[in-house]
């Protein structure tokens, strides 16, 4: 077995593509926070593609970890010279592997926050990018306001404190650049949030304004925060994936990445210090990302929620199992056609009907083996952004909401912590304790779950939503998920 390192690349089998460029010639033009599977299957992959064409050699990535769990990634990246294997799993069972070399350095902020700040403050760095998940932006999910009371934020706001958060780190770097007379870098969110650049702008400027009002005003006036839409199914890497990669390619990789063949990145073309020629790698550079991101959030992402709770309750554990079940597939198509699509505006260059059927095909790829548990996680961050807007707009326009309300009910039933066979469910959510406590009362208090205004806002008092939700929840309790979907199909 060959260890994955720069010195071993030449000896890897021809079936595993390796960087065609001299990595020693690369310089870091991007600092990226959140080097998880998605970043490595997406942004880092696009840059590697450019580098293999002899482009963007001064746009390599310096990865940064902030959370305690990132220490393991630091160990793996250091031991492998920041190389990793990306394997695309095609629907026909074939696999395409390549070693990605666009990340050249990895810093672990808790060990040395000063090195992270100074890296961003250097004139070579022109973009700071983020995949920190929905919860990483530290804003209230109903009001949208920045949570200045977060303990780590409170710490970072103290004079002279060594930053613990991305807000403290990035703001310190911007302050240093301002003091040095350097143009600020662009802050580029690649997270799966509607208006991700707008969210980043709001939260970072809020932090900076509390820390230093003059700095907050300078950031507001000078730092670009482009919006983007990103898409690629990237399931959690399993031991089986590691074993399969070792067997097929003869390489020992501590943290490979697997993904589907589909990829998409739509990016607002607003940068302070230039950018890589991303359009040459297949990225769509546009003036307005919103039509594309609403299409994805309300069709793909909300549809994820439409399949995961119902499917998990019924005993399925993988997305492809649900997508291949005709009853579930029809429910998802009906949700997209009758409830989500009417809330969308036209999307330039996209055939919406074709896009929806492509989603079914993508989710049916059994080789990706995307888990329902992953899709069900952190629902309190996802449902308010992806599904509840569909319900609100439909209610305003007199549209249908039965299926959307049923998805919310399936989440409530899932939060009870046991599937329909009595098997325990590990509910993963930042509001786990509160959600499960509400769900535990709902057989006696049917509206307990949706009475939480922090999550549901004004919907908690909407009688039309309450009626549709209550009907679905009662059916889930009395008849189960399949019968509930059959009833919806027959209405």
Give the CATH number of the domain where residue 309 resides.
1.10.1040.10
pLDDT at 1: 83
Give strand pairing partners of 266.
229, 284
pLDDT over threshold 90, residue 144: no
**Same structural domain, 298 and 371:** yes
- 113-125: b or e for each residue (b if 16 or more CB lie within 10 Å)? beebbebbbbeeb
Please report which confidence band the pLDDT of residue 23 belongs to, taking 50, 70 and 90 as the band edges: very high
Residue 259 is part of which domain span? 2-286
Judge whether 83 and 10 are in contact, CB under 8 Å.
no
Helix (H, G, I), strand (E, B) or coil at 418: strand
Please report which confidence band the pLDDT of residue 142 belongs to, taking 50, 70 and 90 as the band edges: low
Q: How many domains does the chain have?
A: 2
**Same structural domain, 256 and 397:** no
* Of the residues 286, 317, 345, the one at which a domain ends: 286
* Of the residues 286, 311, 340, the one at which a domain ends: 286
Please give the average per-residue pLDDT across 373-380, as a whole number: 94
pLDDT at 127: 98
**Same structural domain, 189 and 268:** yes
Other beta carbons less than 10 A from residue 215's beta carbon: 19
pLDDT at 4: 97
Rounded-to-10 torsion of CA 424, 308, 243, 108:
-90
**Same structural domain, 280 and 299:** no
* Of the residues 265, 286, 307, the one at which a domain ends: 286
* Window from 219-223, 313-317, 332-336, 452-456 with minimum mean pLDDT: 452-456
pLDDT over threshold 80, residue 491: no
pLDDT at 152: 95
pLDDT at 428: 97
**Same structural domain, 391 and 473:** yes
What are the CA-CA distances from residue 218 to residues 171, 175, 280, 431 (Å)? 11, 9, 33, 35
Judge whether 428 and 377 are in contact, CB under 8 Å.
yes
Triad 296, 299, 301: Cα angle to 5°? 70
Helix (H, G, I), strand (E, B) or coil at 62: strand
Q: What is the mean pLDDT of the chain?
A: 95
Separation of alpha carbons 95 and 369, rounded Å = 14
CA 150 to chain centre: 22
**Same structural domain, 367 and 228:** no
pLDDT per position as a tens digit, 413-441 = 999 999 999 999 999 998 999 999 999 99
* pTM score, whole prediction: 0.87
Q: First vs last Cα of the chain: how many Å apart? A: 58
Give strand pairing partners of 33.
64, 130
Give strand pairing partners of 127.
30, 186
**Same structural domain, 270 and 321:** no
pLDDT per position as a tens digit, 379-405 = 998 899 899 999 999 999 999 999 999
Separation of alpha carbons 77 and 102, rounded Å = 12
Judge whether 190 and 131 are in contact, CB under 8 Å.
yes
pLDDT per position as a tens digit, 35-76 = 999 999 999 999 999 999 999 999 999 999 999 999 999 999
What are the CA-CA distances from residue 219 to residues 78, 173, 178, 187, 200 (Å)? 33, 11, 9, 10, 12
Judge whether 199 and 289 are in contact, CB under 8 Å.
no
**Same structural domain, 277 and 153:** yes
Please give the average per-residue pLDDT across 210-222, as a whole number: 97
DSSP 10: G
What are the CA-CA distances from residue 82 to residues 19, 35, 40, 62, 159 (Å)? 12, 11, 11, 9, 35
**Of the ranges 111-125, 144-158, 445-459, the best mean pLDDT one:** 111-125
**Same structural domain, 244 and 314:** no
**Same structural domain, 281 and 298:** no
pLDDT at 385: 86
**Same structural domain, 399 and 329:** yes
User: Which CATH number covers residue 232?
Assistant: 3.40.50.720
Other beta carbons less than 10 A from residue 364's beta carbon: 17
pLDDT at 73: 97
Please give the average per-residue pLDDT across 89-109, as a whole number: 96
pLDDT per position as a tens digit, 159-211 = 999 999 999 999 999 999 999 999 999 999 999 888 999 999 999 999 999 99
pLDDT at 141: 63
**Same structural domain, 316 and 264:** no
pLDDT at 134: 81
pLDDT over threshold 70, residue 459: yes
Between 370 and 425, name the one with better pLDDT.
425
pLDDT per position as a tens digit, 227-285 = 999 999 998 899 999 999 999 999 999 999 999 999 999 999 999 999 999 999 999 99
118: phi then psi, degrees, rounded to nearest 5: -65, -35
């Amino acid at each position: 077995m060959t260890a994955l390192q720069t010195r071993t690349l030449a000896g890897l089998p021809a079936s595993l593509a390796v960087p065609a460029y001299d990595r020693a010639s690369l310089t870091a033009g991007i600092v990226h926070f959140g080097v998880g599977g998605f970043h490595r299957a997406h942004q880092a992959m696009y840059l590697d593609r450019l580098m293999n064409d002899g482009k963007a050699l001064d746009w390599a990535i310096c990865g940064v970890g902030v959370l305690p769990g990132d220490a393991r990634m630091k160990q793996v990246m250091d031991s492998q010279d920041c190389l990793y294997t990306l394997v695309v799993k095609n629907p026909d069972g074939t696999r395409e592997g390549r070693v990605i070399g666009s990340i050249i350095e990895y810093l672990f902020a808790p060990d040395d926050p000063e090195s992270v700040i100074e890296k961003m403050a250097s004139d070579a760095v022109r973009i700071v990018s983020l995949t920190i998940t929905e919860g990483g932006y530290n804003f209230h999910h109903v009001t949208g306001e920045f949570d200045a009371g977060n303990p780590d934020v409170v710490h970072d706001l103290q004079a002279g404190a060594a930053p613990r958060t991305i807000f403290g780190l990035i703001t310190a770097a911007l302050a240093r650049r301002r003091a040095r007379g350097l143009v600020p870098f662009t802050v580029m969110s690649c997270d799966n949030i509607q208006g991700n650049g707008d969210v980043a702008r709001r939260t970072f400027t809020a932090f900076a304004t509390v820390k230093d009002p003059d700095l907050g005003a300078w950031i507001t006036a000078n730092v670009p925060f482009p919006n983007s839409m990103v898409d690629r199914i990237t399931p959690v890497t399993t031991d089986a994936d590691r074993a399969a990669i070792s067997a097929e390619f003869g390489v020992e990789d501590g943290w490979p990445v697997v993904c589907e063949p589909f990829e998409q990145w739509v990016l607002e073309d607003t940068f302070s210090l230039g950018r890589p020629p991303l359009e040459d790698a297949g990225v769509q550079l546009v003036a307005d990302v919103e039509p594309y991101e609403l299409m994805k959030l309300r069709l793909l992402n909300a549809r994820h929620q439409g399949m995961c709770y119902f499917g998990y309750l019924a005993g399925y554990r993988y997305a492809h199992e649900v997508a291949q079940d005709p009853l579930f597939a029809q429910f998802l198509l009906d949700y997209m056609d009758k409830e989500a699509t009417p809330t969308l505006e036209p999307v330039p260059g996209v055939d919406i009907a074709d896009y929806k059927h492509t989603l079914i095909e993508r989710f049916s790829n059994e080789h990706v083996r995307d888990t329902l548990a992953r899709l069900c996680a952190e629902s309190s961050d996802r449902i308010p952004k992806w599904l509840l807007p569909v319900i609100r707009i439909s209610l305003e326009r007199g549209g249908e909401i039965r299926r959307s309300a049923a998805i919310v009910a399936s989440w409530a039933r899932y939060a009870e912590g046991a599937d329909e066979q009595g098997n325990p469910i590990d509910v993963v959510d930042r509001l786990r304790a509160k959600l499960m406590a509400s769900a535990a009362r709902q057989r006696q208090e049917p509206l307990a779950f949706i009475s939480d205004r922090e999550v549901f806002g004004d919907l908690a008092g909407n009688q039309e939503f309450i009626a549709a939700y209550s009907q679905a929840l009662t059916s889930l309790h009395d008849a189960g998920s399949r019968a509930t979907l059959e009833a919806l199909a027959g209405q």
